[in-house]
């Protein structure tokens, strides 16, 4: 059976880098990208499905092998906490159910360092809640949760306040090499490596430092 990858969030910082790797990999005969708008990428292996993520339960997918969830937003971009939670909680869980129906063996998701359902920080709390739900989900045999710290890289859009954090993180990284941030391309690389050669069954969590090590091992 040929391997088929499914990616959601392919236009984001991690997703765009991951999409390139998936398309250039011999592992996958087809890469399906779920996205709201038209694709700007042209590749013979790429199948783009314009998707209303609010109605993922109505989506009928072909058989897939690995599902990569790179969905994420900010409260400012989403417009409210409620809309943020839809993108970062409801949509990933709906995607996991779609993946299970499509026969996926492995579900990989990017959450965040500090994810904790009991956190007083709304962002961390939502990320922790989606992790809790995935931990209880029995529809997919392997689930990999990637918890990167501050994502470094050039975004198509600027996020207020984040650019300052990136400059500080990159500066401190170069001085202390303490790993306060992680390149988005390294998260994408680690995600691909984990899909190609999973080290576990059930659910496993990967810290930012572990992701750096995995990416460097390639």
Q: Computed from CA positions of residues 148, 150, 154, 158, in that sequence, does the dihedral angle turn out positive or negative?
A: positive
CA distances from 11 to 7, 96, 134 (A): 10, 19, 24
- Domain ranges within the chain, ordered by starting residue: 3-216
pTM above threshold 0.85:
yes
**Tokens representing residue 44 in the block:** 């013979």
User: Which residues are bridge partners to 142 per DSSP?
Assistant: 106, 202
Q: Check: CATH 3.20.20.100 for 3-216?
A: no
> Up-side HSE of residue 155: CA atoms within 13 Å toward CB?
12
Q: How big is the chain by its Cα radius of gyration, in Å?
A: 16
Q: What is the mean pLDDT of residues 130-144?
A: 97
Q: Read off the pLDDT of residues 158-201 as tens digits, 9 standing for 90 and up.
A: 444 444 444 444 444 443 344 579 999 999 999 999 999 998 89
Residue 166: the pLDDT is 43
Cα angle 176, 178, 182 (rounded to 5 degrees) comes to 125
**Tokens representing residue 89 in the block:** 């909680």
Q: What is the mean pLDDT of residues 211-215?
A: 97
**Tokens representing residue 16 in the block:** 């765009």
Q: Which of 162, 166, 160 is nearest to 76 (CA)?
A: 160
């Amino acid at each position: 059976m040929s391997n088929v990858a499914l990616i959601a969030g392919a236009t984001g910082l991690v997703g765009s880098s991951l999409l390139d790797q998936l398309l250039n990999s011999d592992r996958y005969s087809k890469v399906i990208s779920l996205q709201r708008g038209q694709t700007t990428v042209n590749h013979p292996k790429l199948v783009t499905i314009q998707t209303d993520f609010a109605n993922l339960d109505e989506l009928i997918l072909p058989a897939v092998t690995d599902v990569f969830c790179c969905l994420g937003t900010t409260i400012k971009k989403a417009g409210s906490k409620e809309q943020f939670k839809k993108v970062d909680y409801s949509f990933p869980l709906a995607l996991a159910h779609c993946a299970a129906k499509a026969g996926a063996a492995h579900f990989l998701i990017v959450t965040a360092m500090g994810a904790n359902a009991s956190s007083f920080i709304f962002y961390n709390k939502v990320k922790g809640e989606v992790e809790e739900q995935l931990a209880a989900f029995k529809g997919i045999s392997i689930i990999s949760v990637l918890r990167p710290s501050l994502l470094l890289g050039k975004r198509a859009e600027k996020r207020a306040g984040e650019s300052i954090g990136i400059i500080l993180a990159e500066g401190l990284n170069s001085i202390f090499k303490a790993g306060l941030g992680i390149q988005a391309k390294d998260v994408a690389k680690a995600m691909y490596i984990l899909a190609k050669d999973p080290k576990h069954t059930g659910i496993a969590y990967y810290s930012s430092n572990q992701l750096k090590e995995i990416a460097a091992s390639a």
